[in-house]
Amino acid sequence: MHLDFQSVPCSDLKIQAINLMNKNKSLPLAIAVALGTLSSTSAMAAGFQLAEYSATGLGRAYAGEAAMADNASAQFRNPAMLTKLEGTQVSTGMIYVDPNVDVDGTTTTLTGKPVATSSKDFADAAVIPNFYLSHQLNDKVFLGLALSSNFGMHTKLDDNFKGTQFGNEASVMTMEINPNIAYKINDQSL
């Protein structure tokens, strides 16, 4: 590494410092934005998220799901769990979900008057199917196929709900097809 040092007159350093300050007039604004971003809270909306992807997981309230491999459905959350399953396994099921969603609130008329409104039990019941297949190809390679859904629901607000001008019906339907390959590096437990 080679370093060159040059002598620079003091007046040139002052001019360079002034130019640097002029270029960084937006620096205080950038710092304020960065600090504001760090201190802000996030909103997470998961109203259409489905946790019900396997009957086994549902039976234990999904406790320890990422580290438990008791059937082929383990691959939906953690494909590495395939290495804990021997031979060929199939897990399938249907989970019935009947949500009870109510909303109470106010909307404002064109004249600015607040009006109370509500809608009761506006989310439809649904059956969520799932299918999982795992196959141990040899001592190191494991294959899997996971078919399920992470999101889905249908909602329709009552016709007398006063907020329908903002949207009164929503429908989300997803199907995940997740092929997996797991390779067992060593015999240590996951």
pLDDT bin (cut points 50, 70, 90) of residue 189 is: low
For the entire predicted model, the pTM comes to 0.64
Give pLDDT, residue 6.
46
Q: What are phi and psi of 31, to 5 degrees?
A: -65, -45
Give pLDDT, residue 91.
92
Give pLDDT, residue 184.
93
Tens of pLDDT, residue by residue over 36-85, are 666 555 555 556 667 777 767 767 676 766 677 788 888 888 899 999 99
Q: Is the pLDDT of residue 132 over 90?
A: yes
Question: What's the alpha-carbon Rg for the chain, to the nearest Å?
Answer: 29
Tens of pLDDT, residue by residue over 136-154, are 999 999 999 999 987 788 8
Separation between Cα atoms, residue 60 and residue 83, nearest integer Å: 22
Q: 36 forms bridges with which residues in the sheet?
A: none
> Between 180 and 166, where is the model more confident?
180
Separation between Cα atoms, residue 178 and residue 187, nearest integer Å: 25
